[in-house]
Amino acid sequence: MGEKLKIKISIADRVYPLTVEPEQEEGLRKAAKTIDVLIKQFEQNYAVRDKQDVLAMCALQFASKVEQEGIDTNKTSEEMEERLKNLDAMLSKHLG
């Protein structure tokens, strides 16, 4: 584990000092940039001026994406499991 970096991340016109592992820096900077882009979109599209409301909307969007990916992954896993069971049954029928 290397030396930690002291960085400053800006989100919604506020600066947050952080101490992070070097391999985390790029991801954090990209995430902050993505949040700022979303903030601008919400402010333009919904005429929301309260930063707390906009940040709550950003948090909801990110959280729903994570939850939906989990649901989609679970569905895919279930479908794959079902296909593998069917394949196993066909192989057992032909080989046995």
pLDDT tens per residue across span 12-51: 999 999 999 999 999 999 999 999 999 999 988 988 878 8
Q: What's the rounded Cα separation, in Å, for the pair 87 and 19?
A: 50
Q: Among 56, 58, 59, which Cα is nearest to 37's?
A: 58
Q: What's the rounded Cα separation, in Å, for the pair 3 and 28?
A: 17
Q: Among 61, 15, 67, 17, which Cα is nearest to 38's?
A: 61
Helix and strand numbers (H, E) in the chain are 2, 2
Predicted model pTM: 0.69
